[in-house]
Amino acid sequence: MTTDSTPMIDIDPRDMHHLAQAQMNVELDTGDMILNMGPQHPATHGTLRLVVRLDGERVLAADPIIGYMHRGYEKLTEYRTYPQITTLINRIDWLSSFANEVPFIHGAEKLMDIEAPDRAQYIRTILTELSRIATFILFLGEMPLQVGAITPAFYGFRDREHVLNLIESATGGRFHPNFNRIGGLKDDLPWGWTGECRRVLDICAKSCDDFERLIVGNEIFQARTRGVGIITPEAGLAYGVSGSNIRASGVDWDLRRDGPDYLSYKDIDFKVWTHPDGDSFSRYWVRLQETRESIKMVRQLLDKLPSGPVMAKVPRIIKVPEGEIWVETENPLGQMGYYIYSKGSTGPFRTKIRSASFSNVSICPWLLQGIYVPDVVTVLASLYFILGDIDR
């Protein structure tokens, strides 16, 4: 198989939907084939259906069909109070639930003019970075699986488990911690947690080295991913692609460093990794480096962890004053934001949930044009999306 990725057939992306409708065009053009990937396909991490129109092995048009997991969270938030909503938003991106909670809680805190104590901010930052490590280590193991390497997937799951156990011991939940409260955290860290955390970080660092040796230098992996699925920075940004995906296209933009101040990122040193290529390989490489960077960040945070309370003084019944606010954070998958409209009640009037995967996947029709069928799987895997994050 070749890895030539230049689109041979030039199609206006706007005509794509028409092309995807197989039944109507079938008598006009008998040379093309419609392939239905999913909703149950291993490469789709859930229930993403992809209708691809093929000319031989080449993709003419791809149309992602989403909504199999739509749970209507934006409507549900209008029927819930602020503390209840953290339970919902835990389930948007279930691999890094803790990181999801942070922007929402942060937005409510800003509207209420409450600031969580330093220690709470540090613990939040640590747990956010730990969920990033957990998410990325799974990715580092799972993406080679789509290329045909079975073993790394087991390494990924094995090493992620250490991090999840760590999150569980602090919050009580492996996947859905529901640990943030408006004004701080539910609990302080358990006794001896920081020591255990350092031990796990060493395991993760070793895991990253393993992946580098096993995957990044692997000839087959490089042949399958280099030059495949190239996202140009302009197109990526116009489609709203964010996070590691856009940094792999050479855009030096990380909300932890460039966005409005949140959590304790201003207190620590970290490097924002970019890669100029924008192909599947660079997305893997950037995430690998970011995992290492996160490990370094957590170590710094553990060194600086201040003492003190983890909860600010908040009223017993939480009423958020009238106003609106846009909060955004750098989640493992990209930019996660909430636009909260409050009318002074116990629940928000309207919440717009901006999830990273939604925009990251919306580039698919543009990105998949002209590549080969086996590469569709690797490109989808390299974009790394969570269906809950697309469908909300």
Partner 1 sequence: MPNLIEDVKKAFGNDVIEIEENYDDVVVRLTKAGYEKAPAILKEQLGFDFLSFIAGVDWMPMPVEAEEGSGDTSQPAQPQEMTFGVTGSASRFQVFSHVQSTSQHVGLTIKVDVDENDMAVSSWTKDYPGADWHERECWEMYGIDFIGHPEIRHLYLPGEFEGHPLRKDFPLLARVVKPWPGLVDVELMPGEGPQAEESE
Specify the 3-state DSSP secondary structure of 150.
coil
| Using rule CB under 8 A, residue 206 touches partner 1 | no
- The distance of closest approach from Cβ of residue 269 to partner 1 in the complex, given in angstroms and rounded to an integer, is 19
| Using rule CB under 8 A, residue 67 touches partner 1 | yes
Interface region with partner 1, contact rule CB under 8 A, candidates 48-56, 213-221, 297-305, 343-351:
343-351
| Using rule CB under 8 A, residue 36 touches partner 1 | no
Place of tokens 């129109």: 53
- The distance of closest approach from Cβ of residue 21 to partner 1 in the complex, given in angstroms and rounded to an integer, is 10
- The distance of closest approach from Cβ of residue 66 to partner 1 in the complex, given in angstroms and rounded to an integer, is 7
Binding footprint of partner 1, residue count (CB under 8 A): 55
- CB neighbour list of residue 253: distance below 8 Å, 6 or more residues apart: 246, 247, 272
| Using rule CB under 8 A, residue 352 touches partner 1 | yes
Of 19 and 201, nearer to partner 1 (C-beta) is 19
| Using rule CB under 8 A, residue 229 touches partner 1 | no
Contact 229, 367 (CB under 8 A): yes
- CB neighbour list of residue 348: distance below 8 Å, 6 or more residues apart: 77, 78, 82, 85, 320, 340, 341, 342
Integer Cα distance of 104 and 108 in angstroms: 6
Question: By 3-state DSSP, what share of the chain in percent is helix, strand and coil, each rounded to 5?
Answer: 50, 10, 40
| Using rule CB under 8 A, residue 270 touches partner 1 | no
Considering only residues 280 to 309 of the shown chain, the ones binding partner 1 according to CB under 8 A are none
Concatenating the DSSP letter of every residue in 188-204 gives PPPTTHHHHHHHHHHHH
Of 154 and 326, nearer to partner 1 (C-beta) is 326
| Using rule CB under 8 A, residue 51 touches partner 1 | no
| Using rule CB under 8 A, residue 17 touches partner 1 | yes
Closest CA to 228 of 283, 284, 280: 280
Contact 137, 204 (CB under 8 A): yes
| Using rule CB under 8 A, residue 322 touches partner 1 | yes
| Using rule CB under 8 A, residue 239 touches partner 1 | yes
C-beta atoms surrounding 219 within 10 Å: 7
Specify the 3-state DSSP secondary structure of 185.
strand
| Using rule CB under 8 A, residue 237 touches partner 1 | yes
> Angle of helix 280-304 relative to helix 373-383, nearest 10 degrees?
20
| Using rule CB under 8 A, residue 78 touches partner 1 | yes
| Using rule CB under 8 A, residue 91 touches partner 1 | no
Binding site for partner 1 (CB under 8 A): 13-14, 17-18, 66-67, 70, 72, 74-76, 78-81, 110, 234-235, 237-242, 246, 251, 253, 258-260, 322-326, 328, 335, 337, 339, 341, 343-347, 349-350, 352, 354, 358-359, 362-363, 366, 391
